[in-house]
Structure formats: C-alpha cells, structure tokens
A and B are shown apart, each in its own frame.
Chain A
Amino acid sequence: MADTTPQAIEVNCETGIVTTRDLTADEIAAQAVAAQAAADQKAAADAEAAKVAADKAAAQAKLAALGLTADEIAAITK
C-alpha cells in the first residue's frame, strides 16, 4: 500500500537546504483543525452573503410593491 502521509517542505533560508518529510501526527491534527476552521469561516461567509442577497431581494420586492419599475429599482440600488 502506498504511503499516503501528507508531506511538508522546509526551505532553510540560511543553508539553502530543502527538506521534504512526512507531517508529524501533531501537524496532521493541526491541519485538521485548520480545515475545520476554514470550513467554519466559509460557512459563515456564505451565510452572510446569502442573508445580504435575501435582504436585497426583499427590499427590491417592497420597492416594486410601492410601484417602482424594475429600471427605477436598479437605478437606486446599484
């Protein structure tokens, strides 16, 4: 079975030596935490974007109900 352990590269800026090694268990755990943090952050951003889009659509619907045309709504919401 092939070795599927993620690898890391370290470039020593003083010596120029490049080392490629397997991630340690701690580093793999830290990467999992980072992945979860990234997922959480993306979910929060997506939720915020969805709320903004929903609020915009609701506002446009209310403006239309007041009698504004689509062009008039576009003109004031750009």
Chain B
Amino acid sequence: MANPTMTLIASNTVGSGGVSSVTFSSIPATWTDLVVKYSTRTTISGISDDVYMYPNGLSTNSSGIQIGGTGAGTFSNSNTYAGGFTDGSTATSNTFANTEIYIPNYTSSNYKSHSTDTVLENNATASYMALQAGLWSNTAAITSLQILAPNGVFVQYSTFYLYGIASS
C-alpha cells in the first residue's frame, strides 16, 4: 500500500433495550479492505459468548479456526463464524469485550478470508482472548455484514464501527 487510508464508513451505538444483531448494509465497493470494530456485552448468563459475523446476511459457507487463552490455559479449535467474543452478563459490571475484524479484498470474486482479534474484559482469573481466522467460501462481493449475538442481545452502549481501507 503506497498511501493507505482508513475511513469510517458507518457506526452505531446500541440504545436501551438492546438488539440481537447489527447490520451494515449497502457497503460501497469503493474500498480495498474492510475493518469492523465492536465493543460488546450481551445478556447471556455467563462471562462470555461467541459473536457471529454473517457476510451478506448468510450463515452458510463459513469456516474458521482459533487459538487463544483463558487466563488459566490455552485452547485451539474451530470457530465457524469467527466473530470474536462478547462479555456476558456475569462479566465484571460495565465492561465490554473488544473485537476487530479485518476483511481484505471484500469485493473479490474469490473466497473471502478474514482475521479476528478479540478479547474479553473480566476482572477475574477467567477471561478470554483469541486470534481467529475465518473463510467465507462464496464468490459474491460482500455488500453487507451482520454481527449477531446468537444468545441474548447486545446491551445498551455496545458500539459497532465499520471502516474502509483504501490501498492508494
């Protein structure tokens, strides 16, 4: 990248009552790569849960793996939707997990890969962080991204940002 730029395309802060998913739709094809950042907490009972990312709203043709730490050990396994982790309702009060997803060449007619960097916030021994690698085996350009809480809802003040990366 000779002179790359990173531009905020859209953002959202969840209001009272919470929501099950946040979708960025009608993503312009004008960028080279996409970056999604979110800070989330959900109502699930427990300190954490997975977050799912559905390109173009589709749950099909996704695969992924992850490596990470739990505070007491390590793990490596599959993680189909590679959308990182979220704080659950019993994580330290008023804390939120942080996740960043990088999606290169999102308009390509090849399969689309993405990498995810995620960390849970919990002021205790048990907490999680992970690096995830995902592949969406679909040749369509990505025009929307749905971030889904499979259990519960994203609580108020969870934030979502979508950035476009231009290669020049």
| Chain A residues with a Cβ under 8 A of chain B | 6-16, 18, 20, 23, 27, 30-31, 33-35, 37-38, 41-42, 44-45, 48-49, 53
Cα-based distance from A41 to B78 in the complex (angstroms): 8
Known A13-B9, A13-B28, A18-B12; contact A34-B150, beta-carbon cutoff 8 A: yes
Cα-based distance from A9 to B162 in the complex (angstroms): 14
| Interchain CB contact under 8 A, A11 and B20 | no
Known A9-B14, A11-B12, A48-B77; contact A38-B21, beta-carbon cutoff 8 A: no
Instruction: Give which listed residue, B21, B80, B150, contacts A35 with CB less than 8 A.
Output: B150
| Interchain CB contact under 8 A, B52 and A34 | yes
Known A20-B19, A33-B59; contact A45-B77, beta-carbon cutoff 8 A: yes
| Interchain CB contact under 8 A, B25 and A38 | no
Distance (whole angstroms) from the CB of A71 to the closest CB of chain B? 21
List A contacts of B17 (CB < 8 A): 7
List 5 tightest A-B contacts by C-beta distance, closest first: A34-B150, A6-B20, A14-B26, A35-B150, A38-B150
| Interchain CB contact under 8 A, B151 and A35 | yes
Q: Considering only CB atoms and an 8 Å cut-off, how many residues of chain B contact the other chain?
A: 35
Known A30-B59, A34-B59; contact A7-B19, beta-carbon cutoff 8 A: yes
| Interchain CB contact under 8 A, A31 and B148 | yes
| Chain B residues with a Cβ under 8 A of chain A | 9-12, 14-15, 17-28, 49-50, 52, 59, 73, 75, 77-81, 148, 150-151, 153, 160, 162
Cα-based distance from A45 to B10 in the complex (angstroms): 35
Distance (whole angstroms) from the CB of B47 to the closest CB of chain A? 12
Closest residue of chain B to A28, judged by CB? B20
29 A-B pairs with CB atoms under 8 Å apart are A6-B20, A6-B153, A7-B20, A8-B21, A8-B22, A9-B12, A9-B19, A9-B21, A10-B22, A10-B23, A10-B25, A11-B12, A11-B22, A11-B162, A13-B24, A16-B10, A20-B15, A27-B21, A31-B21, A31-B148, A33-B59, A34-B148, A38-B52, A38-B150, A41-B79, A42-B50, A44-B77, A45-B77, A48-B77
Cα-based distance from A32 to B90 in the complex (angstroms): 22
Known A9-B22, A13-B24; contact A31-B77, beta-carbon cutoff 8 A: no
| Interchain CB contact under 8 A, B80 and A12 | no
| Interchain CB contact under 8 A, A41 and B19 | no
